[in-house]
Amino acid sequence: MRLLHTSDWHIGRSLHGADLLAEQEAVLSGLAGVVAAEGVDAVVVAGDVYDRAVPSADATAVLDRVVERLLGAGAAVVLTPGNHDSARRLGTFSGLLTQAGLHVRAATARLDEPVLLADAHGGVAVYGLPYLEPEIARHELGVAEARSHEAVLQAAMDRVRADLARRPGTRAVVLAHAFVGGGVASDSERDICVGGVEVVPASVFDGVDYVALGHLHRPQTLTDRLRYSGSPLPYSFGEAGQDKQAWLVDLDGSGLAGVSAVPLPVPRPLTVLTGTLDELLDDPAHAAAEDAFVSARLTDDVRPADPMRRLRRRFPHCVHLEWTGGAGAGDGRSYQERLRGRDDLDVAGEFVSHVRGGVGTTPAERDLLARALGAAAREELAR
């Protein structure tokens, strides 16, 4: 049996306002080529299929086309909701979809009902655990007191192991969306600690042959049988330069036979550029970034005028801008402390100096500020 482990598709996500649907569809549709080339029997998606609980019509259309290509390439598809998804919406028509080869495991009450696959060695049970919010799931799973991710996942896995015990000789794969101890987070995941302690020990998943984990966007191996595939695209500039992949998982008659990485393409790379505005606009060393998503960190002493418009002339996909230059007055006092006891004109002048990195007002600017403040005071008295 050969499985392709993916997760955290986040269809519909944007990058600082830039639409990523085209890039997402390109990468996810490319998985159909992996299915055909590698003889994959099933593609598993361990949560966060969409980026939001109510996805857009365009996002659902992308999922529709991607799944159609995967099924057409010859693989079954098993997916579960993550903390970004609405389990109830994702599970709509799941019974009918199963007949086409798309298995959506979204109901907590039925998490011990596996997708049953078979190969020359016998049966493989694929258990899809939907994301389990402790405060909600504990009631469905009969967890009396503990309100933690560990408690509800332990209860879920107890049910899985009980079902598996009734299937002697069956190999087992579990899909789970959780933060497992030893995993390394990125800065593009949504915190899942609300409702209980988020970190789950790896021992919770004992007793199965492979655990396909989702939630963390960095591909990583916790143990041979416990892995995160990571997201198929980078979703934050903290992931710039990070290799993206899926896991190709082989099961033989004894269980897990091997796991290998399948590199995924990056349609448009992410890059962080640091320097003055003139340096970024003129330095030929940045030519490779002209077709990338760019985060620019400007080090100019004075905040440049209209920097985003000027940057986009060279870097049309610049989506984020940060000014890191300008140390301010440099006397160690906070902005509030520097304003204490000052009149309105001094406060306005100090604000101009603050936003310009310590460059104060000219006499003409100070005169303009004084006239504006005077006009505002007269208008207030006239009310």
Same domain, 257 and 279: no
Q: How far apart are CA 129 and CA 107, in angstroms?
A: 8
More confident residue, 359 or 199: 199
Q: Are residues 307 and 344 in the same domain?
A: no
Number of structural domains (the chain) is 3
Residue 328 is assigned to a structural domain of this protein: no
- Which CATH number does the domain housing residue 245 bear? 3.60.21.10
- Of 263, 283, 303, which residue constitutes the final position of a domain? 263
The answer to whether 178 and 150 have CB atoms below 8 angstroms apart is no
Considering the domain architecture, whether residues 361 and 287 belong to the same structural domain is answered as: no
- The one-character DSSP state at 290 is G
CB 201 within 8 A of CB 180: yes
Radius of gyration of the chain (CA): 27
pLDDT over threshold 50, residue 197: no
**Which tokens go with 37?**
């080339």
Assess whether 256 and 274 both reside in one domain. no
Specify whether 242 is located in the same domain as 348: no
Of 81, 59, 77, nearest in space to 12 by CA: 59
The mean pLDDT value for 188-202 works out to: 68
**Strand-pair category, 199-200 with 210-214:** unpaired
pLDDT in tens, 308-345: 999 999 999 999 999 887 644 345 555 566 667 778 88
Same domain, 32 and 85: yes
Question: Is 312 found in the same domain as 211?
Answer: no
Whether residues 177 and 88 share a domain: the answer is yes
First to last CA, the chain: 80
Q: In one letter, which amino acid is 370?
A: A
If pLDDT is split at 50, 70 and 90, which confidence band does 184 have? confident
- Per-residue pLDDT at 136: 86
Burial 205-215 (b: 16+ CB within 10 A, else e): beebbbbbbbb
Do residues 72 and 123 share a domain?
A: yes
63 within a domain of the structure (yes/no): yes
In the block, residue with structure tokens 């994702």 = 90
Is 220 in a helix, a strand, or coil? Answer: strand
Which of 247, 263, 279 delimits the end of a domain?
Answer: 263
Could you tell me if residue 45 is inside a domain?
yes
Rounded Cα distance, 316 and 295, in Å = 12
Of 263, 297, 312, the residue at which a domain comes to its end is 263
256 & 278 share domain? no
Whether residue 293 lies inside any domain: the answer is yes
Q: Same domain, yes or no, for 112 and 46?
A: yes
Range with the poorest average pLDDT among 10-24, 166-180, 322-336, 369-383:
322-336
Determine, yes or no, domain membership for 198: yes
Pairing verdict, β 210-214 and 171-177: parallel
Residues 33 and 69 in one domain: yes
* Beta bridge partner(s), residue 321: 296
Give bridge partners of residue 15 from the DSSP assignment.
18
Q: What is the pLDDT of residue 194?
A: 42
pLDDT at residue 262, rounded to an integer: 97
Q: Is the pLDDT of residue 50 over 50?
A: yes
Asked if residue 329 is part of any domain, the answer here is no
- Residue 286 structural domain: 270-323
| φ, ψ dihedrals at 42, nearest 5° | -150, 140
Q: Is residue 69 part of a domain?
A: yes
Give the tens place of pLDDT for each residue, 224-243: 999 999 999 999 999 998 89
Average pLDDT for residues 107-117, to the nearest whole number?
A: 94
Query: Are residues 8 and 231 in contact, defined by beta-carbon separation less than 8 angstroms?
Result: yes
Query: What is the tens place of the pLDDT at every residue in 148-174?
Result: 889 999 999 999 999 999 999 999 999
With respect to residue 330, please indicate whether it lies within any of the assigned structural domains.
Answer: no
